[in-house]
Structure 1
Amino acid sequence: MKPNIGINEADRKAVSDQLSKLLADEFVLYTKTRNAHWNIEGPDFHSMHIFFEEQYGQLDELMDSVAERIRKIGHYAPATLAQFLQLTHLTEKSDSKNDSQGFLKELLEDHESIIEFIRGNINPFATEYNDAGTSDFITGLMETHEGMAWMLRSHFR
């Protein structure tokens, strides 16, 4: 049964398409954060290992909430690696040498890219697609990414 939530099918599809890109970005960032957790080396190994674990834990929750939002508005969430790599704005490639500074810089850039993508969708979701709920939802996601980016950025000061 199709949702009867006051948003027409074309608008729900447009929102779902953008949320699918966001989900792909979240998944790629999650994977890159897991990589940092697993492969970090150096004198700050222990503290960074724990830090990256906290970050990927937050990202796991974000991914689930984005997928569930897609389902709430009546569409299926992408769920394969091929789909994620096709939809993501991020690059899977890592230039890091398994040191904290390299991982931190790369992850920070990805968070900031996601923040910009989300920010660019807040108003269109509400005004063009009549979906204030998803607009509000992604505003919260943006704030979470801003907090995570702050934690990453703070390592450089």
Structure 2
Amino acid sequence: MASKKAPAPEKGAPKIDIGIGEKDRRRIADGLSHFLADSYTLYLKTHNFHWNVTGPMFNTLHGMFMTQYTEEWTALDEIAERIRALGFNAPGSYAEFVKLSSIREESAAGTLGWQDMVRQLVAGNEAVCRTARKVLKTADGAGDDPTVDLATQRLQVHEKNAWMLRSLLE
């Protein structure tokens, strides 16, 4: 009696089969790419303002900005890794981020007063919230609970940051 030969393993990586179709994964990854670009741009802006803030609020804002940009930096990896887990490449260049981000970069931070910096960071955090909500809806419709969870956690952070910054201007 001849024994059956085991099938040869497929070459390359196995096809992604996580219960979310490729079309939905692509839409979610696209939304996450915009979310990553907004998050990275906000990180850069916050770090820039940390370096360049002056005036009577220097000590308070220097520390607050450092806390925020440090937390934002850590989150960037989580967003990019989620894109990769869905089977797509994460954007990772300034050129890509500029194209994808809804937040305008700030090149003249040294000319801004602390209040303008705070206003821009309020607007930046709110922009990240809007982008997070979009990807959250897309992910929820596709049954992508890990992305929904990630977006929900990020919303909590950025809504709180916007509130704390906004309160400085009241």
TM-score w.r.t. length of structure 1: 0.91
Are residue 3 (structure 1) and residue 16 (structure 2) matched?
Answer: yes
Deviation of the 1:94 alpha carbon: 5.8
Deviation of the 1:119 alpha carbon: 1.8
Match of 1:110 among 124, 133, 142: 124
In structure 2, what is the Cα distance between the partners aligned to 1:120 and 1:71? 19
Between the two proteins, the alignment pairs up a number of residues equal to 156
Are residue 20 (structure 1) and residue 26 (structure 2) matched?
Answer: no
- Runs of 4+ in structure 1 deviating by more than 4 angstroms, as ranges, are none
Deviation of the 1:140 alpha carbon: 1.3
- Report 1:1-157 matches (<5 A): 1=13, 2-93=15-106, 97-127=111-141, 129-157=142-170
Unaligned residue ranges in structure 1 (runs of 5+): none
In structure 1, what is the Cα distance between the partners aligned to 2:120 and 2:137? 28
In structure 1, what is the Cα distance between the partners aligned to 2:138 and 2:24? 10
Deviation of the 1:95 alpha carbon: 7.1
Does structure 2 conserve the Cα–Cα contact (< 8 Å) formed by 1:11 and 1:130? no
Unaligned residue ranges in structure 2 (runs of 5+): 1-12
Does structure 2 conserve the Cα–Cα contact (< 8 Å) formed by 1:69 and 1:134? yes
Does structure 1 conserve the Cα–Cα contact (< 8 Å) formed by 2:28 and 2:138? no
In structure 1, what is the Cα distance between the partners aligned to 2:96 and 2:89? 12
In structure 1, what is the Cα distance between the partners aligned to 2:88 and 2:25? 8
Does structure 1 conserve the Cα–Cα contact (< 8 Å) formed by 2:40 and 2:76? yes
Does structure 2 conserve the Cα–Cα contact (< 8 Å) formed by 1:95 and 1:102? no
In structure 2, what is the Cα distance between the partners aligned to 1:90 and 1:26? 9
Letter in 2 for 1:28: T
Equivalent residue of 1:78, what SS? coil
TM-score w.r.t. length of structure 2: 0.85
- Structure-2 change in CA distance of 1:126 and 1:11 (3 Å): same
Letter in 1 for 2:115: Q
